[in-house]
């Protein structure tokens, strides 16, 4: 029975103390014998951790004692083995690289739709106002190849920093539609949705919690295939169970 708890979480919140926070979080994670990756930047935190459930939840509880992170609610899944080789905590320029410094979720995020709301829209074929709904996959092409929503737009991105130029090239195709941007856990589509709304696409939303939250809450209705994750599990299915032998590169 799987006994390794995997969590992912992020938050855009001013973190000018990222360097000091790196040392604190690395020591804490090592004390709890956790493995994974934590990215810190002035704009916030992005983390992927795995280990015994008690240790992982202890780490989260301690992190939530910092008022900035009190409302973080990590997404959980299980695996039979540890999917990370080491524990890394890095300070970066961005916790998810877009190369557009003016896009700052800390100053206000784009509206979000929940997994259940998106399922209802997809069931009906339109949003609550009768507008056609377009799903936009903001992930890299090799991730999309493992699975995505039925009919989702895929611009075959090589990296997320390619997204702004792709959006400008295809913006006309999205006019007068309700656009829901999505990604694995929510962090990329959070920046993507802001960028789209700032470029004359006012009816743009982000999928709250990304694909992982959608699979957890809906069982994967309207989603086809698996979901790529950036650890040694490689992909998870609609039950968030690891899947063997995926075809895409590391």
Considering the candidates 183, 189, 227, 248, report the single residue annotated as catalytic.
Answer: 183
Q: Partners of 179 in the beta sheet?
A: 134, 204
Assigned token pair, 239: 């039950």
Instruction: Note if 183 is an active site residue.
Output: yes
Of 63, 61, 73, residue with least CA distance to 26: 63
Of 84, 91, 97, residue with least CA distance to 38: 91
Phi–psi pair at 229, nearest 5 degrees:
-130, 150
Assigned token pair, 146: 């493992």
Please give the Cα distance from 240 to 212 (Å, whole number). Answer: 8
Please give the Cα distance from 55 to 57 (Å, whole number). Answer: 5
Q: Partners of 5 in the beta sheet?
A: 51, 78
Half-sphere CA count of 93, side-chain side, radius 13 A: 5
Sole residue written with tokens 């990604």: 183
Please give the Cα distance from 5 to 9 (Å, whole number). Answer: 13
Asked whether the beta carbons of 76 and 50 are under 8 A apart, the reply is no
Asked whether the beta carbons of 134 and 180 are under 8 A apart, the reply is yes
The residues annotated as belonging to the active site are 183
């Amino acid at each position: 029975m799987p006994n390794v708890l995997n969590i992912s979480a992020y938050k855009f919140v001013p973190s000018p103390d990222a360097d000091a926070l790196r040392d604190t979080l690395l020591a804490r994670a090592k004390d709890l014998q956790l493995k994974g990756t934590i990215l810190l930047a002035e704009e916030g935190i992005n983390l992927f951790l795995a280990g015994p459930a008690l240790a992982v939840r202890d780490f989260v509880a301690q992190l939530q004692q910092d008022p900035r992170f009190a409302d973080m609610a990590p997404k959980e899944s299980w695996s039979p083995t540890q999917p990370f080789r080491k524990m890394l905590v890095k300070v970066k320029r961005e916790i998810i690289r877009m190369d557009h410094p003016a896009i700052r979720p800390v100053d206000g995020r784009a509206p979000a739709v929940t997994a259940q709301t998106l399922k209802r829209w997809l069931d009906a074929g339109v949003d609550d106002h009768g507008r056609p709904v377009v799903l936009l996959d903001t992930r890299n092409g090799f991730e999309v190849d493992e699975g995505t929503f039925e009919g989702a737009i895929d611009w075959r991105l090589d990296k997320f920093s390619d997204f702004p130029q792709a959006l400008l090239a295809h913006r006309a195709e999205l006019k007068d539609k309700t656009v829901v941007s999505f990604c694995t856990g929510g962090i990329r589509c959070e920046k993507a949705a802001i960028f789209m709304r700032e470029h004359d696409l006012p009816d743009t939303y982000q999928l709250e919690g990304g694909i992982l939250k959608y699979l957890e809450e809906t069982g994967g209705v309207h989603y086809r295939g698996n979901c790529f994750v950036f650890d040694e599990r490689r992909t998870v299915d609609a039950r968030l169970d690891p899947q063997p032998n995926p075809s895409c590169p590391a």
